[in-house]
């Protein structure tokens, strides 16, 4: 490393320390639900103007609580949102770290949608989903949100990532997974969807799958037709070719 590189690195380190110090000055008030509205809003404005990863990290804390009145709550969150975006792609690592522990992913996903290409966002959401399994958990709102969010996109990666959740112990997760898998419009998902239908007790989920098959003209495989017929709700039938139809 040359002398110039040494001073350049030292300068960069100093700038990072300065940015962290500036953000820290306002971070507590910005993320404090019990702070006076004026104090919190002043802090949010100051942080939003910085456009640094450190400021973005502090602003993200505003998404962890709600305040009254709701219009003020929304205005503050919109301010925080715009402030995080001002940091650009440098905010992505701090948003990712925040999302890993967040109780709601609505705002992190909204931020990532602005900072990433569609393909990058799909990969990001799939990575977030991979942290979850299909077993019982007391709190699964983030998992449900990811499954719903992936329904907005089309990619072979999504089908492969979401199909395991057709066997989730939670019926809402199974419903969301079925919706997202069906939207991919990939007949490769037929066996997994048939298996879910045959085993499923929720009429809502069964109807979702049946409607999906009927609208797409998908055939129920020969070796699954008997089991599928036995499991069918009264509204549906399977014709001789293996297509589901409404009676």
DSSP states of 86-145 as a string?
Answer: HTGGGGHHHHHHHHTT-S--HHHHHHHHHHS-HHHHHHHHHHHHTT--SS--S--HHHHH
Percent of the chain residues past pLDDT 70, beyond the cut:
92
pLDDT for the residue 21: 78
State mean pLDDT over 168-190: 98
Given a contact cutoff of 8 angstroms between Cβ atoms, the answer to whether 43 and 30 are in contact is yes
Of 16-25, 186-195, 232-241, least confident by mean pLDDT is: 16-25
User: Using 50, 70 and 90 to split pLDDT, how confident is the model at 247?
Assistant: confident
Name which residue leads in pLDDT, 83 or 20. 83
Residue 231 has pLDDT above 80, yes or no: yes
Residue 6 has pLDDT above 50, yes or no: no
Residue 23 has pLDDT above 50, yes or no: yes
The pLDDT tens digits of the residues spanning 47-63 come to 999 999 999 999 999 99
Residue 25 has pLDDT above 60, yes or no: yes
Percent of the chain residues past pLDDT 90, beyond the cut:
90
State mean pLDDT over 154-161: 96
Helices 37-50, 53-60: inter-axial angle, 10-degree rounding: 150
Ramachandran angles phi, psi of 37, nearest 5°: -55, -45
The pLDDT tens digits of the residues spanning 199-211 come to 999 999 999 999 9
For the entire predicted model, the pTM comes to 0.90
Q: How high is the mean pLDDT of the chain?
A: 93
Given a contact cutoff of 8 angstroms between Cβ atoms, the answer to whether 207 and 197 are in contact is no
Which SS3 state, helix, strand or coil, does residue 168 take? Answer: coil
DSSP notation for 136-159: --S--HHHHHHHHHHTT---HHHH
Residue 217 has pLDDT above 50, yes or no: yes
State mean pLDDT over 216-220: 96
State mean pLDDT over 232-238: 94
State mean pLDDT over 153-157: 96
The pLDDT tens digits of the residues spanning 100-150 come to 999 999 999 999 999 999 999 999 999 999 999 999 999 999 999 999 999
């Amino acid at each position: 490393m040359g002398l110039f590189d040494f001073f350049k690195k030292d300068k960069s380190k100093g700038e990072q320390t300065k940015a962290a110090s500036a953000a820290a000055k306002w971070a507590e008030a910005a993320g404090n639900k019990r702070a006076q509205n004026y104090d919190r809003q002043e802090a949010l404005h100051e942080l939003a103007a910085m456009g640094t990863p450190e400021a973005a990290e502090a602003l993200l804390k505003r998404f962890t609580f709600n305040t009254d009145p709701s219009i003020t709550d929304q205005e503050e969150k919109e301010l925080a949102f715009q402030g995080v975006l001002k940091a650009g792609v440098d905010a992505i690592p701090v948003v990712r770290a925040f999302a890993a522990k967040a109780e709601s992913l609505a705002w992190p996903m909204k931020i990532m949608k602005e900072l990433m290409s569609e393909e990058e966002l799909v990969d990001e959401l799939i990575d977030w989903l991979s942290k979850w399994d299909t077993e019982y958990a007391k709190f699964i709102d983030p998992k449900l949100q990811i499954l719903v969010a992936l329904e907005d996109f089309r990619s072979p990666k999504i089908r492969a990532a979401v199909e395991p959740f057709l066997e989730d112990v939670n019926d809402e997760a199974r419903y969301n997974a079925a919706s997202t898998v069906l939207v991919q419009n990939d007949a490769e998902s037929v066996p997994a969807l048939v298996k879910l239908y045959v085993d499923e007790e929720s009429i809502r989920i069964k109807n979702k799958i049946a409607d999906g098959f009927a609208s797409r003209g998908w055939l129920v495989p020969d070796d699954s037709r008997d089991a599928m017929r036995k499991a069918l709700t009264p509204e549906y039938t399977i014709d001789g070719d293996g297509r589901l139809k409404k009676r």
